[in-house]
Structure 1
Amino acid sequence: MNKKVFIFDDNTDILELCTLILEDAGYEIKTSATSNEIVDQVSAYMPDLIFMDNWLPDVGGIEATQELKKHPDLKHIPVIYFSANNDVKALAEKAGADSYLPKPFDIHALEDVVNAYIGK
């Protein structure tokens, strides 16, 4: 049973890149361009790890992450905040994310974060 990663980002290039890298590494990937109805989206897939972009249409990454972390059935799922903002660490802390990954990231950094949380 492959570990599942859910990536929220409105940048299709990032989604495609992450999907290619992580599927290649043996993970199952689902992506979404919005964090609207975040609880429903995540509940329907129940991933092992979530990547959350900061700038998402409508509901931003911070609010979406906070909603997940308040939810009794979903709060255990690690959320990795990723953003091109200089203050990505502060944003991740405000959101209540488990860790963060600055953009642009290199492939090894992405794989390292995933392995640290849900490595085989």
Structure 2
Amino acid sequence: MVQDKSKVVICDDDDGILSMLEMIVESTGASVETESNSAKLLPRLENSQPALLIIDLWMPNMPGDAIVRRLREQEKYNDVYILCISASVNGQQVAMEAGADKFIAKPFDIYDVLSVVQDVVKLDGVA
């Protein structure tokens, strides 16, 4: 499977946050896929490996930290940068122990998210 270095996948069960994150990422020129049902995320990633996964930790069906652990168990996902977001008090510890690359607390600063996208995603014509 080939990684799409210009793609970002966002998984959050809150439609408002999902829409806001989608707008933030699209503003960089990156391609975006969203998923509100965490149970559907792993099958979707089988066919489409993004440069960046932005995922909420606390979701029904399957929590974000369980998804991160599953991805980190598989070598084919080693190059996927994982940004966890959460309003949880111990979210940073949970995210980092699961194998996330970065954690941003909710409510998040748009520029913090933009900074990660710009650092990770490689767009055509950009070094």
The TM-score, its normalising length taken from structure 2, stands at: 0.85
SS at match of 1:111: helix
Correspondence for 1:9 among 9, 12, 18: 12
Alpha-carbon spacing, 1:38–1:22, altered in 2? closer, same or farther (3 Å): closer
Q: Which has the higher contact order (CA 8 A, sep 6+)?
A: 2
Give the distance between the partners of 1:16 and 1:37, measured in 2 at CA: 18
Question: 1:89: Cα distance to partner?
Answer: 1.4
CA distance, structure 1, for counterparts of residue 36 and residue 42 of structure 2: 15
SS in 1 for 2:72: helix
How many residues matched?
A: 120
The answer to which structure has the higher strand fraction is 2
CA deviation digits over 1:57-100, x for unaligned, max 9?
Answer: 11111111000111121132111111011222101112111111
**One-letter amino acid of the structure 2 residue matched with residue 95 of structure 1:** A
Using the TM superposition, name which of 30-39 and 78-87 deviates more.
Answer: 30-39
Task: Report the equivalent of 2:77.
Answer: 74
Unaligned runs of 5+ in 1: none
CA distance in 2, matches of 1:30, 1:81: 16
**Native 8 Å contact 1:38 1:67 kept in 2:** no
- 1:98–1:72: structure 2 CA closer, same or farther, 3 Å change rule? same
TM-score normalised to the size of structure 1? 0.90
What are structure 2's unaligned runs of at least 5 residues? none
Secondary structure in 2 matching 1:5: strand
- 1:116 matched to 2:119? The reply is yes
Which amino acid counterpart does residue 66 of structure 2 have in structure 1?
Answer: E
Structure 1 window deviating more from structure 2 (72-81 vs 32-41): it is 32-41
Distance 1:2 1:76 in 2: 10
Root mean square deviation of aligned Cα = 1.7
Q: Tell me, yes or no, if the aligned pair for 1:61 and 1:95 is still in contact at 8 Å.
A: no
Tell me which of 37, 44, 48 is aligned to 1:45.
48
2:75 is paired with a residue whose SS is: coil
- Looking at structure 1, the residues matched to 91 and 67 of structure 2 have their Cα atoms a distance apart, in angstroms, of 16
SS in 2 for 1:18: helix
1: CA distance, partners of 2:14 / 2:23 = 14
Equivalent pairs: percent with the same residue? 28
TM-superposed deviation, 1:103: 0.8
Match for residue 56 of structure 1?
59
